[in-house]
Amino acid sequence: MAEYTQDEKAAALRAGENWLETDPELLLMGRFMDDHGDPSTWSQAMEDLYMAEHNVLMGNGAVPSGCQHCGIPEREHARRWTDGIGWHPWVQPRSSQTLARMKARRAARATNSLKDGAR
């Protein structure tokens, strides 16, 4: 269930904050925590799935075979800078990462076609 108590939600709503209901990052994290528990207990595969969905959400979903660190395809990669990693060559993604990216893209396509249908 959700991480916020009724009092906290009520206080946020009184303050005019509707981030509880509308922040897509919070909603995504909330959904994963509902389904899989605290992030510190997630497996690597679960982290990969969360990151893949998060990246799609932020509009920079990676191709499934993209670099392990930054998601850029091998043929476009050369050397890239990524926060926390620094300069790096293309690195083979983990198989769990490839799978997670495929799932996230498929889910995003399904969501987008629903949205298109509604408007």
Residue ranges that bind Zn ion, judged by CB under 5 A: 67, 69-70, 80
Q: Which is nearer to Zn ion, 69 or 101 (CB)?
A: 69
Q: Which two three-digit tokens encode residue 88?
A: 């790096």
Q: Which is nearer to Zn ion, 40 or 87 (CB)?
A: 87
Q: Which residues pair with 39 in a beta bridge?
A: none
CA distance 3 to 30: 7
Distance of CA 77 to the CA centre of its chain: 22
Nearest distance from residue 58's CB to Zn ion, in Å?
Answer: 17
Nearest distance from residue 113's CB to Zn ion, in Å?
Answer: 30
Q: Which is nearer to Zn ion, 1 or 78 (CB)?
A: 78
CA distance 105 to 30: 20
